[in-house]
Structures are given as structure tokens and as C-alpha cells.
Structure 1
């Protein structure tokens, strides 16, 4: 019945099959006997371990603080309930 009219997209450029670029052949290939390995960066490893340690410590600290807060509020609520029962029994 009613069909919406959408404005043309300014972020997507469709590539038609006739204008698609041809695949580019690699210009240099390593010999099959040589395997290139990425060099391990010890600084990045230390930074990663420190970051993971900081996240774990902060998570454990948050859990500990929450546990302490809940235990204190539980004791306070227990004392309030006992005081109210004593007042009602008089």
C-alpha cells in the first residue's frame, strides 16, 4: 500500500561484479624452509599479567567489601528485630 522512500546511503559503496578489482598476486614469498616467527615481547607480557592481576585483585576486593557490608547490615537488622520484639512483649 504505502512504500517508504529511503534516502540513498552515503556510507555504503556497492561494488558491482564488472568493477571489482582483480586479485593481486603476492610479489615476494618466503622460501619454504624458513619459517618466520613473531618475536615475543616480554614487556607486553608483563603488562598483560599486571593488568589481569589488577582486575582480579579489584574484583576480590569488591566481593570482600560487599560481604562485610552485608554481614554488618545483617547484624544490625537482627538487633533491630530483637529490640522490636522486646518492645512488643512489654
Structure 2
């Protein structure tokens, strides 16, 4: 849905305002974006991660126990903490 929303915004922006007039679209930081490979994620350390058959752009960070998020982008949720201790 995020990529559809982005595509719609981009199309409307280009159609109504015109590409040459400084049209831009902002990406919300708290929403995941679909991907097929790391190259789809725009670089800057982001990787294309897979979790439960969904592929999304993810910025690897140390795993935080108990937050139910795949912080380190390895496809597992809460499997270890910052010092590799079990959650």
C-alpha cells in the first residue's frame, strides 16, 4: 500500500504541477518500503530484508529484545540482544 500511495502521489504531482517546477515527495521514516534487492533500498546502509515472505527495506541496527521488531534485518525477531545474549 505504501508503494501504491507513493506512486499515486508521484503521478499526481507530475501531472498537476509538472516535473520541472520543483515537485517532490517526502518518504515517512516510520513506514517500510517493499523491495526485491538491496539496490531498491537507496543505499546508505539499507538492505532488502525478508520476514514472513515479505521483503522490505531495513537499516540494520543492534537487536533490541522484547520490541517484536527485526532490528538487525536478519529475518528473525528478538533472537539476540546487543551482546548476542538470548532474548
> Where on the TM-score scale, by shorter chain, does this alignment land: which range?
under 0.3
Question: Larger Rg: 1 or 2?
Answer: 1
Q: Which has the higher contact order (CA 8 A, sep 6+)?
A: 2
